[in-house]
């Protein structure tokens, strides 16, 4: 029984239904926003009362992909952040542009929703459309998709760890905010210096320096290795050119496998090194000051939908979605308060809702009843579910008590959930093994991996579920996901070669476009986790197309019940650990908290992207004055 | 709003910060990078600011350029390529500074306070902020004096007159792209639509257009490098076509250099996805689309569309995406052209086949081919032998005529 807030119950056969006697099962009672909100008592006055509160508007928030702004209030008396608003700053209208089109266009158009996660949208759109069309790809087609998407993750991880998050732990920045840590780092030998070659922690921190550090500069080159692997299978990156419903267009040859395999070898070594670099950095900060455990910490609610299909189980149907979903290498998993509550994609789909009380959209539920009350299997769904959603944009002035972002507020069972690369490890580790393989083993509380030899010897790595979900652990797990993904790449490679050996060389199944009404959903994961495309089609045309991305979840604003979004929760109560006077506080810990999510805004608001951070209550100040 | 003192100022976050201080309040400024010694003077332009701005973008152009290798972006930033200026990049994805410290770069550019010329590269469509009411389609930074939200479009208005060049990158910025296609809610458009045909940069250049969705990173980097070499007096001004595209990159159809074009010539077409032959009958638009991915690849010569099996969907063209929809359907004109190619090319292919059999023979294989790989064939026999005899004779009568 995974639902605590939505009135959904299951009978003995596992069939879901709404509890009887609940008059309005999906009622939304809008609560007053909680937390610190400034009062309208005249210009500047609201901040005079608590004299050491600092109102800080970060617009644009940099070293994230896309347009994000964050408003936060720092309490310098108690040295912590006390308020946060995450703002997506861009709207483009992709969901509206997709309406009325031939469904075949959706793959290439929705791909352009995000060029950072440059292949996942095309992939998830293929999954969604093939479900609607009733066409299942041949097994080699599934493996080619897997291999391409393994390559994409090899581009994604070094980009974030090296170029976006890494500089926050570099000598250049830490010497400004915490000079004592640099002194300490100089004297601290790196525990894994034999693996990565940096003698002291200070050497690692030097290598993380933006534009000049070795780790920073090499990260760009590593992204190129990942891109080349993605392109060998998907043609082009970003925006693949070989994906379509029913498989891929890719012309596979002996060369494809040879070239892919030789790149994968390099990745094995990189994975061994990057895990140890981040182990050393994270452990150094946590030992120097245990309070770093609270930077970016929030409740342990993680939503993952799974990625990398088992080509022997995947059949593209919604009817069997729980079966093939659980066979994915990285598991669909809903973790609430640190406990795994379900691996069923139908449960994950059923409990999912999007709210717009604090977003620049109009409420679609007021325009009559929902289009669908259940999914195709009879499971109840909310009027706020994407299949029932209509995107109605309404740009307007920013008001932190009202509407302040182009992002919506997705919730599961009305709880705030986050998602990420780290969630793939988290969910898979808690789920435990489902497929025997020589390269990794999920124990229920950890992931044990054997990364094959290349230039560096075969290496056993173990990632253990941490006790807190915080900024450092997000980054550490993202580094370990390089190793996890490399073992999955090896598994998929062996499977693909097996099909190749058996002469099962087809990569695509032909399809016909159905003319009746169909609903479908594609679930896949981006570099940052959760990705869903929900589609309704009729008469061979798209009626509704809804995209929810990882940063739709993570950058979400408050919900109507007063709950904060994941970035907002992670910022509030983040301690300010800088060892400098108040007037020199840079807010680095808040920035670390946000960047640890690896924000990727282009596709967040269907897409609205925001850049930067904003801190003003435009309405409360402006209205009073006028 | 005059009496409204911004909270930051009241508390002193922004106050008293020196914009030239390499350690701005939030993090390190990008320009804290040490200036490399440059003893060889190869032209007057030593440094250039690249202000990378976005409209309705997906960041795919940024990603594409960061994958480029000719030259690598990190080499431009380090200023280690002789003859090319060092590039100071002001870009939200890579800049170390955030918020007001980041937008400060833009204010300095507008006031002419930067110590080198700046180029604007714009990614994403231009969205019409006159229809976004009190809100915005794309907000980027705020006015430090009033706290007013600034849109990214306002930055374009403020910075385009003083820019050394405005380079539109990607199909959204050049022609409008997907945000400007059917269903366009933001009245999105391309850079030329917005700035107009009379726009000239401070160096007298109209808008430069580098299309593609996503573009090939090297197409952008190569064009930028070529322009910089010109400005340093080391190379000619690169040639641009009537739409402002680099002519040497976009002057040919992608079909002409496609590795599968030879199949088209011989009238052989892929029947299903995954086949190795010409993709025109599976929906490829290559024969009419101007693009160079077939010879350049996507990253460092790797990948590409038709090379890997993908049909051309016309993503570099002003008509993308609507005029190429539905993607995967066969281009109407291809019925005529591929039928013709089947007839003519089919004949040529058979003729070539005859010749190929002969060229696969050494002189001593006339009676028996010593291969263990297939049932041994002896060379051409009967009438074919006669054909080859005449062919060979004809070949030799033409010796010396080149």
Are A340 and A430 a contacting pair, CB within 8 Å?
A: yes
Q: How far is A616 from chain B (nearest CA, A)?
A: 7
B242 close contact with A: CB closer than 8 A: no
Domain-located, residue B394: no
Chain B: residue nearest A42 by CA? B4
Domain-located, residue B19: no
Sorting pLDDT into bands at 50, 70 and 90, what band is B35? low
Q: Do B274 and A90 touch (CB under 8 A)?
A: no
Q: Which residue has the tokens 């990398």?
A: A308
Q: Check whether residue B309 and residue B191 sit in a common domain.
A: no
Q: Looking at the predicted structure, is the pLDDT value of residue A610 above 50? A: no
Q: Do A235 and B307 touch (CB under 8 A)?
A: yes
Q: How far is B371 from chain A (nearest CA, A)?
A: 23
Q: What is the mean pLDDT of chain A?
A: 91
User: For residue range A199-217, what is the model confidence (pLDDT) as tens digits?
Assistant: 999 999 999 998 888 999 8
Sorting pLDDT into bands at 50, 70 and 90, what band is A50? low
* B contact residues 92-111, partner A, Cβ 8 Å cutoff: 92-100, 102-103
Q: How far is B103 from chain A (nearest CA, A)?
A: 8
**A93, A249, A506 member nearest B183 (Cβ):** A93
Q: Looking at the predicted structure, is the pLDDT value of residue B29 above 50? A: no
In chain A, % of residues over pLDDT 90? 83
Contacts of A97 in chain B (CB under 8 A): 178-179, 181-185
**B27, B138, B303 member nearest A228 (Cβ):** B303
B16 C-beta neighbours (distance < 10 Å), count: 8
Between the alpha carbon of residue A493 and those of residues A248, A249, B252, the distances in Å are 16, 18, 37
| pLDDT given at position A503 | 96
Chain A: residue nearest B147 by CA? A616
Contacts of B56 in chain A (CB under 8 A): 90, 92
Contacts of A242 in chain B (CB under 8 A): 305, 308-310
Query: Domain containing B74: what range?
Result: 26-248
CA separation for the pair A235, A530 (Å, rounded): 24
Q: How far is A423 from chain B (nearest CA, A)?
A: 24
Task: Give the lowest-confidence range in A473-482, B141-150, B214-223, B287-296.
Answer: B141-150
**A354, β-bridge pairs:** A410
| pLDDT given at position A202 | 98
| Residue scoring higher pLDDT (B394 or B68) | B68
Q: Check whether residue B76 and residue B129 sit in a common domain.
A: yes
Question: What are the structure tokens assigned to B119, written together?
Answer: 């180029």
Residues A596-602: what's their mean pLDDT? 85
Contacts of A87 in chain B (CB under 8 A): 139
A151 close contact with B: CB closer than 8 A: no
| pLDDT given at position A51 | 59
A vs B, Cβ pairs < 8 A, gives 365
Q: Check whether residue B197 and residue B260 sit in a common domain.
A: no
Chain A: residue nearest B327 by CA? A105
User: For residue range A241-264, what is the model confidence (pLDDT) as tens digits?
Assistant: 999 999 999 999 999 999 999 999
Question: What are the structure tokens assigned to A576, written together?
Answer: 């300010």
Q: Check whether residue B199 and residue B88 sit in a common domain.
A: yes
Nearest partner of B190 among B162, B156, B221, judged by Cα: B156
Q: How far is B219 from chain A (nearest CA, A)?
A: 15
Domain-located, residue B33: yes
Whole-prediction pTM = 0.92
| Residue scoring higher pLDDT (A44 or A584) | A584
Chain B: residue nearest A121 by CA? B58
Domain-located, residue B130: yes
* B contact residues 119-178, partner A, Cβ 8 Å cutoff: 125, 127, 132-142, 147, 149, 152, 177-178
Q: Which of B248, B277, B292 corresponds to the end of one domain?
A: B248
* E strand segments, A262-351: 302-307, 330-336, 339-342
| pLDDT given at position A604 | 60
Sorting pLDDT into bands at 50, 70 and 90, what band is B8? very low
Burial class of residue A262 (count of CB atoms within 10 Å of its CB; 0-12, 13-18, 19+): exposed
| Residue scoring higher pLDDT (B144 or A36) | B144
| pLDDT given at position B400 | 54
CA B116 to chain CA mean position, Å: 26
**B60, B95, B321 member nearest A105 (Cβ):** B321
Q: Check whether residue B84 and residue B96 sit in a common domain.
A: yes
Q: Check whether residue B212 and residue B261 sit in a common domain.
A: no
| pLDDT given at position B379 | 63
| pLDDT given at position B393 | 83
| pLDDT given at position B18 | 38
Task: Give the lowest-confidence range in A232-236, A500-504, B273-277, B373-377.
Answer: B373-377
Sorting pLDDT into bands at 50, 70 and 90, what band is B50? very high
User: For residue range A340-350, what is the model confidence (pLDDT) as tens digits?
Assistant: 999 999 999 99
Q: Looking at the predicted structure, is the pLDDT value of residue A40 above 80? A: no
Q: How far is B80 from chain A (nearest CA, A)?
A: 12
What's the per-residue H, E or C state across B68-102? CECCEHHHHHHCCCCCCCEEEEECCCCCCCCHHHH
Q: Check whether residue B233 and residue B268 sit in a common domain.
A: no
Q: Check whether residue B151 and residue B300 sit in a common domain.
A: no
3-state secondary structure of A234: helix
Question: What are the structure tokens assigned to A493, written together?
Answer: 């490679």
Between the alpha carbon of residue B249 and those of residues A461, B151, B166, B173, B286, the distances in Å are 47, 33, 18, 18, 15
B268 close contact with A: CB closer than 8 A: no
* A contact residues 330-349, partner B, Cβ 8 Å cutoff: none
Q: Looking at the predicted structure, is the pLDDT value of residue B157 above 90? A: yes
> Which of A235, A250, A253, A496 to mutate to test binding with chain B, by most B CBs within 10 Å of its CB?
A235
Sorting pLDDT into bands at 50, 70 and 90, what band is B22? very low
Q: Which residue has the tokens 């009438």?
A: B383
Q: Looking at the predicted structure, is the pLDDT value of residue A337 above 70? A: yes
Q: Check whether residue B225 and residue B99 sit in a common domain.
A: yes
Nearest partner of A251 among B215, B364, B305, judged by Cα: B305
Q: Looking at the predicted structure, is the pLDDT value of residue A477 above 90? A: yes
| pLDDT given at position A48 | 42
Q: Looking at the predicted structure, is the pLDDT value of residue B231 above 90? A: no
- Element spanning A74, H or E: strand A68-75
| pLDDT given at position B9 | 30
Q: Do B99 and A61 touch (CB under 8 A)?
A: yes
Are A329 and A147 a contacting pair, CB within 8 Å?
A: no
Q: Which of B248, B267, B290 corresponds to the end of one domain?
A: B248
Residues B384-397: what's their mean pLDDT? 81
* CATH number for the domain harbouring residue B269: 4.10.480.10
| pLDDT given at position A614 | 26
Chain B: residue nearest A242 by CA? B310
User: For residue range B158-210, what is the model confidence (pLDDT) as tens digits?
Assistant: 999 999 999 999 999 999 999 999 999 999 999 999 999 999 999 999 999 99
Contacts of A225 in chain B (CB under 8 A): none
Q: Do B274 and A508 touch (CB under 8 A)?
A: yes
| pLDDT given at position A433 | 84
**A118, A396, A621 member nearest B4 (Cβ):** A621
Domain-located, residue B223: yes
In chain B, % of residues over pLDDT 70? 87
Domain-located, residue B15: no
Q: Check whether residue B337 and residue B209 sit in a common domain.
A: no
A106 close contact with B: CB closer than 8 A: no
Helices vs. strands in chain B: H and E counts, helices first: 13, 7
**B60, B95, B315 member nearest A118 (Cβ):** B60
Contacts of A210 in chain B (CB under 8 A): 28, 30, 94, 96
| pLDDT given at position A57 | 84
B36 close contact with A: CB closer than 8 A: no
Q: Which of B187, B219, B248 corresponds to the end of one domain?
A: B248
Q: Check whether residue B209 and residue B289 sit in a common domain.
A: no
CA separation for the pair A446, B53 (Å, rounded): 43
A68 C-beta neighbours (distance < 10 Å), count: 34
Are B63 and B124 a contacting pair, CB within 8 Å?
A: no
| pLDDT given at position B376 | 57
Nearest partner of A527 among A210, A264, A161, judged by Cα: A161
| pLDDT given at position A605 | 45
> Which of B65, B73, B92, B169 to mutate to test binding with chain A, by most A CBs within 10 Å of its CB?
B92
Residues A440-447: what's their mean pLDDT? 96
| pLDDT given at position B399 | 60
Q: Check whether residue B67 and residue B200 sit in a common domain.
A: yes
Domain-located, residue B356: yes
Nearest partner of A79 among A224, A234, A262, A291, judged by Cα: A291
Domain count, chain B: 2
Contacts of B315 in chain A (CB under 8 A): 108, 239
B335 C-beta neighbours (distance < 10 Å), count: 12
CA separation for the pair A624, B93 (Å, rounded): 36
* CATH number for the domain harbouring residue B131: 3.40.50.700
Are A129 and A520 a contacting pair, CB within 8 Å?
A: yes
Chain A: residue nearest B271 by CA? A510
User: For residue range B323-334, what is the model confidence (pLDDT) as tens digits?
Assistant: 999 999 998 888
**B59, B94, B298 member nearest A116 (Cβ):** B59
Domain-located, residue B3: no
Q: How far is A523 from chain B (nearest CA, A)?
A: 21
């Amino acid at each position: 029984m995974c639902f605590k807030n939505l009135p959904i119950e299951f009978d003995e056969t596992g069939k879901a239904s709404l509890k009887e006697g609940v008059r309005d099962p999906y009622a939304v009672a809008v609560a007053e926003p909680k937390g610190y909100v400034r009062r309208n008592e005249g210009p500047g006055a609201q901040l005079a009362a608590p004299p050491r509160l600092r109102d800080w508007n970060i617009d644009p928030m940099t070293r994230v992909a896309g347009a994000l702004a964050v408003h936060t209030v720092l309490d310098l008396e108690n040295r912590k952040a006390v308020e946060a608003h995450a703002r997506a700053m861009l709207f483009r209208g992709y969901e509206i542009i997709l309406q009325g089109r031939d469904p075949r266009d959706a793959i290439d158009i929705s791909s352009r929703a995000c060029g950072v996660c440059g292949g996942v949208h095309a992939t998830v759109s293929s999954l969604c459309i093939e479900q609607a069309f009733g066409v299942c790809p041949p097994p080699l087609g599934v493996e080619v998709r897997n291999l391409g998407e393994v390559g994409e993750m090899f581009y994604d991880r070094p980009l974030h760890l090296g170029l976006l998050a890494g500089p926050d732990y570099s000598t250049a920045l830490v010497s400004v905010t915490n000079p004592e840590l640099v002194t300490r780092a100089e004297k601290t030998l790196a525990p894994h210096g034999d693996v990565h070659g940096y003698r002291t922690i200070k050497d690692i921190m030097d290598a993380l320096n933006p534009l000049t550090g070795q780790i920073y500069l090499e990260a760009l080159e590593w992204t190129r290795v990942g891109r080349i692997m993605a392109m060998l299978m998907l043609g082009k990156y970003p925006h693949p050119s070989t994906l379509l419903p029913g498989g891929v267009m890719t012309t596979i040859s002996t060369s494809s496998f040879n070239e892919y395999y030789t790149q994968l070898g390099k990745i094995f070594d990189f994975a061994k090194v990057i895990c140890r670099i981040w182990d050393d950095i994270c452990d150094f900060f946590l030992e120097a000051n245990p309070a770093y455990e609270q930077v970016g910490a929030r409740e342990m609610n993680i939503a993952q939908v799974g990625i990398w299909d088992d080509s022997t189980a995947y059949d593209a149907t919604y009817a069997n979605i729980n079966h093939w979903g659980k066979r994915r290498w990285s598991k669909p998993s809903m973790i609430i308060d640190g406990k795994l509550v379900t691996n069923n994609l139908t449960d994950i789909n059923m409990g999912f809702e999007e709210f717009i009380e604090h977003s620049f959209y109009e409420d679609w539920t007021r325009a009559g009843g929902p289009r669908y009350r259940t999914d195709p299997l009879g499971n109840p769904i909310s009027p706020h579910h994407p299949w029932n959603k209509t995107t109605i944009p309404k740009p307007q002035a920013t008001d932190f008590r009202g509407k302040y972002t182009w992002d919506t507020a997705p919730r599961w069972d009305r709880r705030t959930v986050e998602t990420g690369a780290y969630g793939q490890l988290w969910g898979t580790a808690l789920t435990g093994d489902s497929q025997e393989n020589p390269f990794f083993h999920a124990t229920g509380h950890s992931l044990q991996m054997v990364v094959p030899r290349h230039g560096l010897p075969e290496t056993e790595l173990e990632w253990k579920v941490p006790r807190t979900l915080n900024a450092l652990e997000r980054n550490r797990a993202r580094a370990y996901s390089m190793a996890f993904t490399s073992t999955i790449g090896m598994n998929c490679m062996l499977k693909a070669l097996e099909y190749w050996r058996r002469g099962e060389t087809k990569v695509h199944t032909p399809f016909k476009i159905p003319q009746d009404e169909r609903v479908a959903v594609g679930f896949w994961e981006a570099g940052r986790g959760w990705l869903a495309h929900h589609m309704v089609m009729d008469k061979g045309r798209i009626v509704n197309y809804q995209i929810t991305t990882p940063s739709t979840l993570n950058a979400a604003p408050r919900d109507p019940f007063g709950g904060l979004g994941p970035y907002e929760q992670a910022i509030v109560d983040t301690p300010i650990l800088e060892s400098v006077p108040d007037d020199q506080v840079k807010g680095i810990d808040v920035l670390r908290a946000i960047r640890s999510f690896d924000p990727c805004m282009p596709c967040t608001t269907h897409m609205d992207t925001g850049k930067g951070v904003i801190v003003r209550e435009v309405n409360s100040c402006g209205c009073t004055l006028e | 709003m005059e009496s409204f003192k911004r909270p930051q100022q009241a508390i002193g976050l922004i106050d008293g910060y020196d914009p030239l201080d390499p350690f701005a309040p939030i993090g390190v400024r990008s320009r804290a990078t040490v200036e490399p010694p440059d003893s060889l003077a190869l032209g007057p332009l030593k440094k250039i600011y690249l202000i990378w701005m976005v409209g309705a973008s997906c960041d795919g152009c940024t990603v594409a350029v960061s994958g480029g290798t000719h030259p690598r972006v990190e080499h431009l930033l380090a200023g280690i390529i002789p003859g090319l200026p060092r590039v100071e990049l002001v870009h939200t994805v890579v800049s170390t500074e955030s918020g007001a410290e980041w937008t400060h770069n833009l204010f300095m550019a507008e006031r002419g306070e930067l110590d080198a010329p700046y180029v604007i590269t714009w990614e994403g469509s231009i969205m019409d902020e006159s229809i976004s009411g009190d809100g915005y389609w794309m907000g980027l930074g705020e006015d430090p004096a009033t706290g007013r939200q600034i849109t990214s479009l306002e930055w374009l208005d403020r910075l385009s007159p003083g820019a050394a060049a405005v380079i539109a990158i990607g199909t959204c910025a050049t022609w409008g792209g997907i945000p400007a296609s059917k269903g366009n809610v933001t009245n999105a458009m391309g850079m030329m639509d917005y700035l107009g045909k009379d726009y000239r940069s401070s160096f007298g250049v109209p808008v430069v257009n580098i299309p593609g969705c996503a573009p090939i990173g090297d197409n952008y980097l190569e064009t930028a490098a070529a322009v910089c070499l010109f400005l340093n007096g080391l190379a000619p001004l690169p040639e641009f076509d009537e739409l402002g595209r680099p002519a040497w990159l976009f002057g040919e159809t992608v079909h002409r250099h496609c590795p599968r074009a030879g199949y088209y010539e011989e009238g052989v077409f892929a029947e299903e996805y995954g086949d190795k032959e010409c993709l025109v009958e599976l929906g490829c638009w290559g024969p009419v689309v101007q693009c160079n991915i077939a010879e350049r690849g996507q990253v460092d010569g790797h990948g590409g569309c038709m090379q890997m099996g993908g049909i051309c969907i016309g993503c570099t063209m002003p008509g993308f995406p609507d005029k190429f929809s539905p993607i995967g359907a066969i281009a109407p004109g291809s019925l005529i052209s591929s039928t013709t190619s089947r007839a003519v090319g089919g004949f040529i292919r058979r003729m070539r086949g005859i010749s190929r059999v002969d060229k696969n023979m050494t002189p001593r294989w006339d009676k028996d081919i010593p291969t263990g790989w297939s049932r041994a064939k002896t060379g051409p026999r009967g009438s074919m032998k006669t054909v080859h005899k005449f062919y060979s004779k004809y070949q030799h009568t033409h010796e010396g005529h080149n």
